[in-house]
Amino acid sequence: MSIKSLITRLKSFAADTRGSISVEFVLVMPILFWSFMAAYVFFDGYRQSAVNLKAAYTISDMISRETETINPAYIDSMYSLMKLLTRSNSAVSLRVTVIRWDQADNRYYVDWSTNRGFPTNLTNASIGDIEAKLPVMPDNERVILVETINTFVPLFNVGMDNKQLSNFVFTRPRFAPQVLYSAT
C-alpha cells in the first residue's frame, strides 16, 4: 500500500458522514441527561423551600387566631402539621415565640417560647440575636414568631449539597391581645 492510496483512504474516511449521529448522541447524551437531572433537583429545592414557607405561615396564622391558652399538646399538633405539610424526609424543627415591645425600655421581651427540634427556646437574653429581623412595633404590642428549619436533601448528586431551609415568620394575634401558653 502506497502513501498515495493511504492518503486517499484517509480523505475518504474523513468525508464519510455515516454514523456521525450515533457519535454525536454518545457525546451529547450524558450532558443532556445531567441537565434534566439538575433541572429536576433545582426545581425540587425551590418547591421544598416554598412548601416550608407556606407551612410556617399556616402555623403562624392558626396560632394568631387562638383565644384560648396554648399547651404542649397544641404545639405538638402544630409540629405534626408542619411535618405533614412539608412531607420532608429530613428532620423538621419548629419554634414558636411570643415577643412584646416595651417602648420605655426600648427593647423586645419574650413572653414565652417553646420548640420542637430547635436546640433552645428564645429568651430575653438571646432575643438580641434576632432583633434586627423583628418588625417595628408600638408600645406593648405583641407578635407571634414562628421559626422553622428543614434540610433539603437533593434526590440526585448534581453538585448541590444539602441545603438548610429556614423561615422566620411573625404575625399579630388576631382575636385577643396576646396568645397565652401554659406548660401544663
Quick: pLDDT tens for 161-180: 999 999 999 999 998 888 99
pLDDT band for position 43 (cuts 50, 70, 90): very high
For residues 148-167, average pLDDT: 90
Q: Determine which of 20-29, 37-46, 97-106 has the lowest per-residue pLDDT on average.
A: 20-29
The span from the CA of 37 to the CA of 155, in Å, is: 9
**Residue 70: per-residue pLDDT:** 94
Considering only CA atoms, which of 151, 157, 150 is closest in space to residue 37? 157
pLDDT in tens, 83-130: 999 987 788 999 999 999 999 999 999 999 999 999 999 999 999 999
Mean of per-residue pLDDT scores for the chain: 91
**Residue 3: per-residue pLDDT:** 87
pLDDT in tens, 45-77: 999 999 999 999 999 999 999 999 999 999 999
Beta-carbon contacts of 6 under 8 Å, excluding residues fewer than 6 positions away, are none
**Residue 1: per-residue pLDDT:** 66
Considering only CA atoms, which of 38, 32, 84, 27 is closest in space to residue 59? 84
Q: What is the β-pairing status of strands 142-152 and 107-116?
A: unpaired
pLDDT higher than threshold 90 for residue 20: no
User: What percentage of the chain's residues is helix, strand, coil (to nearest 5)?
Assistant: 45, 25, 35
End-to-end CA separation in angstroms for the chain: 98
